[in-house]
Amino acid sequence: MTALPDAVTDGTVAAHPLTAAGTPLTTHLPDGILLDAAQRSAAAALGAPHRHGAYLWGAVGRGKSLLAEAYFEALPTRRKRRVHFHDFFLELQGSLGTRRTPLDRAVTRLVGGSRAILFDEFHVHDVADAVYLTTTLRHLIEHDVLLIATSNDAPDELMPGLWHEHFVPAIRLIEQHLDLIEIADGEDYRGVAPELRPTTGFTAGSWVL
């Protein structure tokens, strides 16, 4: 099995070529967006160089998808793919079921020539996804595909309960090879009455989070 290098934050591994110069994601935010302090901190961490990518997590409504999409738009390549995490695994399962394709080959086909992938709403709810997820992560890391993932959960909180141990290999890959970035808790303005919301900026509720 191929040894995988650690994330760039350990100070010993060169950054991924797409992120070596840093990524000014704030210039790709929609006009009128006003980030709070926690979001600005996360944006700065996300825009720094990464070796294999970043795992952006935090409470619902805190702007994870907004920041990740701005970052993704700023990456200096057209060979990139944004996909909802659940949709990717539906495609993968379809390839395995209809074509009887080996798992490694199915992952290779879905990734294609992408140099970067954004997995939005990273969440696991089926024990069968454990093997799929581990294989996918190893493929992306081994082939130097930059991975950005957003999630409501910290890596170690993925798939809690009875089946958690099946996801430990995937969780360890995330923790060892992606830079973990938390958007600190703040008010979720989706629960605020419309007449009390700000009329401009991120918290106005005008953008999909």
pLDDT value of position 203: 41
Mean pLDDT of the chain: 82
- One DSSP character per residue, 82-119 reads EEEHHHHHHHHHHHHHHS---HHHHHHHHHTT-SEEEE
pLDDT value of position 194: 43
Residue with the larger pLDDT of the pair 86 and 174:
174
Other C-beta atoms within 10 Å of 11: how many? Answer: 6
Judge whether residue 207 has pLDDT over 60: no
Class level of CATH domain 35-204: alpha beta
In three-state secondary structure terms, 175 is helix
Structure tokens of 66?
């907004």
Q: What is the DSSP letter of 149?
A: E
Pairwise CA distance, residues 164 & 134, whole Å: 13
Pairwise CA distance, residues 118 & 70, whole Å: 11
pLDDT value of position 4: 59
Over the stretch 92-115, which tens digit does the pLDDT of each residue have?
888 887 666 788 888 999 999 999
pLDDT value of position 18: 94
Ordered by start, the domain boundaries in the chain are 35-204
Nearest Cα to Cα of residue 179 among 51, 58, 69: 51
Over the stretch 178-200, which tens digit does the pLDDT of each residue have?
999 999 887 564 554 444 344 44
pLDDT value of position 23: 86
pLDDT value of position 32: 80
Identity at 65, one-letter amino acid code: S
pLDDT value of position 196: 39
Over the stretch 133-165, which tens digit does the pLDDT of each residue have?
999 999 999 999 999 999 999 999 987 777 788
Over the stretch 28-84, which tens digit does the pLDDT of each residue have?
988 888 888 999 999 999 999 999 999 999 998 888 999 999 999 999 999 999 999
Judge whether residue 116 has pLDDT over 90: yes
According to the per-residue pLDDT averaged within each range, which of 7-16, 159-168, 194-203 is highest? Answer: 159-168
